[in-house]
Chains A and B, each alone.
Chain A
């Protein structure tokens, strides 16, 4: 394709979704993905070695055909958790640098990654699938009403905006996004749990609150709730005892079958249901579901347990992500092309016309002998993850970077508070009983800590509710990775075996919590360090502000409370006892995982934001950013559903503008 209508850089929930919608609407689309298609070998299947007939050449004709779709490639903990260079998290020769303040030099560090594989973060994500809550779009309004905004902004240096779009506008796209992600869950249970939370009861007294958006969405999750596991049950028992309201974690997985006759997941039928409940505006959505989606059927999760950061073995993609949904549909279209191993390094910019004209990339199929390629395009859509999107913009256009005339690109970076939570090790009588192997890592969740009241300190923050996030039970699934880590801490022989035994009885409760936006938390180009091809790597500057530090203090007792029935029963020794079985950990400052947000803030004011309400650069009218970079605030939950919903919204807007003959102005 010499000149594409759209060149889309990145193939995860943002790029993978918008590329499908635009191609489906008839535009010529080229998708550039810097990683390889790691899932490709899954299509070359072999007999399951566990099938005894496969071992006997004379009986091979009797093999159950279903077993032929097994492929051992993704069931390799070493390959997917320990191998370096990490083939899914970072391209060979890629890395980032980190510093905790602008006054010190940054250094290369291991704790940051950007999924570098076809499907991007939607391949290796944990599948936790929440839509945002209405209050997430109006945090500024909320804190203004409660009188906390001055504390946050004037005293503590945050910049907490409302989103420039209404929750209502997003809601129909959330419905469709949940069908593409085959979210499993129980909607009424989730709605009720939110309403039963302490913060909801308190905020319901505020005039604006209940009008902020739909607090009781009617659209049922397209799949039944994922089965409860022992780890989820540990959390549930503790949470109910504490007066919290635990629910089955909404998950982007085709839920396991109830009977062998279950037909699998029919995306088209689920889209049809979403359109019946609330059809998004725009001509694209006036089509029938049969025009929108093929008759592909996705298979149910077989609970093999190789989920987080692994490639789903699954037959026809039970684990959701663009690779098994939108990119699969895209492969049917002749006006779309996906190029893997395409590492973009410049959005080509015509300074006279103030427009982008394409993307320059390295074809790294043979990384020792890369080839520089130009793909021309009328429009460019960036979706590389918030760290790499900022890096690409800053490497492009004018010396200060594309879209960066106001020094806003890369600022307000948010990464959620990874590492925040509790770790619990049960006594030996629970050996072999937690069954971390069942399905994905999360299982049961609670919104009780979405806001937490300060009844801990004696400062002027006391009595107010502060932003935190969702807490979720998390299974330990990787015994090899754990043992290797303990070994590198110089443990061998029986002490190492003891630690391996403990791991089997260990679980976590993680708090996915907001780090509120501050301009000083940012991504820019490292002035010194370069990657394999001589390009400056992304430099991440991050510190925790007063809100995060306060949150650590407030959520600790809430999390430890989950263990109380087990402590009362004598099963666990509490965190305050010697040799405690329970430990609390604050977030890890330099852990920058898949939840990267905010480096290209969406807003109406070009002085304080990078993209407008349609995710288009204020400075350059034909460049869009549709990954999590656009988030003005970060939520206390996982961003994937919102990214997909927003990509649908932006794509719909583009199609509509083009249909009216407008040049997207």
Chain B
């Protein structure tokens, strides 16, 4: 593994992204809101105990993010292939004479490859070229650091505001796009960056594949009232209890006419 893939982020970038993730999701403030839903096992949750906090660091979102960068580094090869097909849509046809075959079937328009418009691709740069997660973010680090440096010079950074400004393409240090003549690919906008980064944070937070977070893996799910998680299973007893609770809270005062699988 190359050094770049082994350590996709520098310590400085880890700090910036960690802070930005807090600006995106101020979880502890949310959890402590008056009247907020409380999970059934609230007394056992460390972040709800006196003095406890729920932080993005607890959720280990940045190590998870670094793993994502490592995993998807091969996607650039696919982007290269798609570029070749776009340039010559019949390039990989197994037919001996694809143009003649098309003509014989009345398909007379010049062929086009529409994979990007079909959305059966994940990430593209600003020009529509399919790229890997690693390449996408590599294009973002320099402008992100420029934005952060500029804000730091003006005083302590308000990461909530910074996230909003990036979302609204409102950070002057982030160029709308880099010229293709300067870079082989076109830099994403700050909004594209922020949405992709927040999306990856959601993936890290919502408990699907982040066992490194330990007891915190399901923290956000629990605070949302979501009980599905990898490895779970439930029984008829669980459904019966849940239906009863629902009916108690709804309190419609009607009796069920049919058993519906619960007799």
Q: How many of chain A's residues touch chain B, expressed as a range?
A: 35 or more
Report if A208 contacts B (CB, 8 A).
no
- Docked pose: A535 CA to B111 CA in angstroms: 9
Beta-carbon contact of A303 and B238 below 8 Å:
yes
From A226, A257, A439, residue with most partner B Cβ within 10 Å: A226
Report if B49 contacts A (CB, 8 A).
no
Chain A: minimal CB distance from B222 (Å):
9
B95 CB contact (under 8 Å) in A50, A108, A534? A534
Beta-carbon contact of A246 and B258 below 8 Å:
yes
Beta-carbon contact of B249 and A429 below 8 Å:
yes
B262 CB contact (under 8 Å) in A227, A492, A496? A227
Given known A-B contacts A76-B208, A78-B203, A241-B254, A437 and B249 have beta carbons under 8 A apart: no
Q: Which of A15-23, A523-531, A597-605 contacts B (4 or more CB under 8 A)?
A: A523-531
Name the interface residues of A344-403: CB closer than 8 Å to any CB of B.
Answer: 345, 362, 368, 370, 372, 394-395, 399
Given known A-B contacts A241-B254, A429-B249, A494-B26, A256 and B235 have beta carbons under 8 A apart: yes
Given known A-B contacts A76-B209, A528-B109, A536-B102, A435 and B242 have beta carbons under 8 A apart: yes
Beta-carbon contact of B258 and A189 below 8 Å:
yes
Report if B104 contacts A (CB, 8 A).
yes
- Residue on B with the closest CB to A245? B258
User: Interface code A241-264, partner B: CB below 8 Å = 1, 0 otherwise?
Assistant: 100001110000001111000000
Beta-carbon contact of A50 and B225 below 8 Å:
no
A236 CB contact (under 8 Å) in B40, B98, B163, B258? B258
- Residue on B with the closest CB to A435? B242
Chain B: minimal CB distance from A64 (Å):
12
Given known A-B contacts A256-B235, A433-B246, A77 and B95 have beta carbons under 8 A apart: no
- Docked pose: A265 CA to B124 CA in angstroms: 47
- Residue on A with the closest CB to B262? A228
Q: Which of A26-34, A86-94, A269-277, A458-466 contacts B (4 or more CB under 8 A)?
A: A86-94
Given known A-B contacts A49-B231, A230-B246, A493-B163, A90 and B120 have beta carbons under 8 A apart: yes
- Residue on A with the closest CB to B230? A75
Q: Which of B6-14, B83-91, B146-154 contacts A (4 or more CB under 8 A)?
A: B83-91
Beta-carbon contact of B121 and A85 below 8 Å:
yes
Report if A410 contacts B (CB, 8 A).
no
- With an 8 Å Cβ cutoff, the count of chain B residues facing the other chain is 89
Given known A-B contacts A437-B234, A492-B167, A532-B113, A479 and B118 have beta carbons under 8 A apart: no
Report if A156 contacts B (CB, 8 A).
no
- Docked pose: A233 CA to B248 CA in angstroms: 12
- Docked pose: A65 CA to B117 CA in angstroms: 48
Report if B202 contacts A (CB, 8 A).
yes
Question: Which chain A residues border B259 with CB–CB below 8 Å?
Answer: 186, 225
Report if A40 contacts B (CB, 8 A).
no
- Residue on A with the closest CB to B78? A92
Question: Which chain A residues border B252 with CB–CB below 8 Å?
Answer: 237, 241, 565-566, 569
- Docked pose: A537 CA to B85 CA in angstroms: 14
Given known A-B contacts A107-B114, A433-B245, A534 and B227 have beta carbons under 8 A apart: no
Report if A497 contacts B (CB, 8 A).
yes
Question: Which chain A residues border B118 with CB–CB below 8 Å?
Answer: 95-96, 108-110
Name the interface residues of A487-545: CB closer than 8 Å to any CB of B.
Answer: 487-488, 490, 492-494, 496-497, 500-501, 503-505, 525-537
- Docked pose: A278 CA to B90 CA in angstroms: 54
Beta-carbon contact of B92 and A534 below 8 Å:
yes
Report if A642 contacts B (CB, 8 A).
no
Q: Which residues of A contact B (CB under 8 A)?
A: 48-50, 70, 72, 75-79, 82-86, 90, 92-97, 107-110, 184, 186, 189, 224-230, 232-234, 236-237, 240-241, 246-248, 255-258, 302-306, 345, 362, 368, 370, 372, 394-395, 399, 428-439, 444, 477, 479-480, 483-484, 487-488, 490, 492-494, 496-497, 500-501, 503-505, 525-537, 565-566, 569, 571
Q: Considering the complex of A and B, which 6 residue pairs feature the smallest CB-CB distances, nearest first?
A: A432-B225, A534-B93, A95-B118, A225-B261, A437-B228, A108-B114
